[in-house]
């Protein structure tokens, strides 16, 4: 699978909300919430698109400049695009943007039963710091995770 990343915009709203409904069902963000996220001046959203310019994933960061903190708001990869490194690539780009914005700490919530996502986050250095009971509703808890943002590494290309 081939894809590339670009900055997300309101033109992606339909694709994002459709994917939200397909992936998350009744836990999906509303169209209004997704629009507010895309319009937030403190946010940073990416769209991953395939060779046909179809959105196959997206990710968002909230990291106001000067606060030293950020939150991974969402990361979603279409089921057909999973297991190809797209989730990791999206996360690494969000981490780079968080660094650029001066974030020293990043936080996120992940479903307690989403082992693949937890594994990815731990591989990137996130650690568990708490549990949010019924965070997703219907008795579904979230693990809160934190990353002390490491400095960028320079190396041979």
The catalytic residue among 22, 109, 115, 135 is 109
By residue count, the chain amounts to: 157
109 is catalytic: yes
The catalytic residue among 22, 121, 135, 136 is 121
121 is catalytic: yes
How far apart CA 44 and CA 7 sit, in angstroms, is: 8
Those residues whose C-beta lies under 8 Å from the C-beta of residue 11, and which sit 6 or more positions away, are: none
How far apart CA 150 and CA 131 sit, in angstroms, is: 24
Alpha-carbon distance values, 115 to 48, 85, 121, 136, 142 (Å)? 22, 16, 10, 16, 12
Those residues whose C-beta lies under 8 Å from the C-beta of residue 42, and which sit 6 or more positions away, are: 62, 63, 64, 65
Just list the catalytic residues.
109, 121
């Amino acid at each position: 699978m081939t894809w590339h990343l670009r900055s997300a915009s309101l033109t992606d709203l339909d694709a994002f909300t459709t994917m939200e409904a397909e992936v998350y069902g009744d836990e999906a963000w509303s169209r209004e919430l997704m629009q507010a996220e895309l319009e937030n001046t403190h946010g940073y959203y990416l769209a991953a698109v395939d060779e046909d310019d179809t959105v196959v994933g997206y990710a968002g960061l909230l990291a106001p400049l000067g606060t030293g903190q950020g939150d991974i708001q969402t990361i979603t990869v279409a089921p057909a695009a999973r297991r190809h490194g797209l989730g990791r690539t999206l996360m690494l780009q969000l981490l780079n943007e968080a660094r650029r914005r001066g974030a020293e700490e990043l936080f996120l919530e992940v479903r307690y039963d989403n082992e693949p996502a937890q594994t990815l986050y731990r591989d990137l250095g996130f650690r568990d710091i708490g549990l949010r009971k019924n965070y997703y509703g219907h008795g579904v808890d979230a693990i809160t995770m934190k990353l002390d943002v490491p400095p960028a590494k320079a190396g041979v290309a």
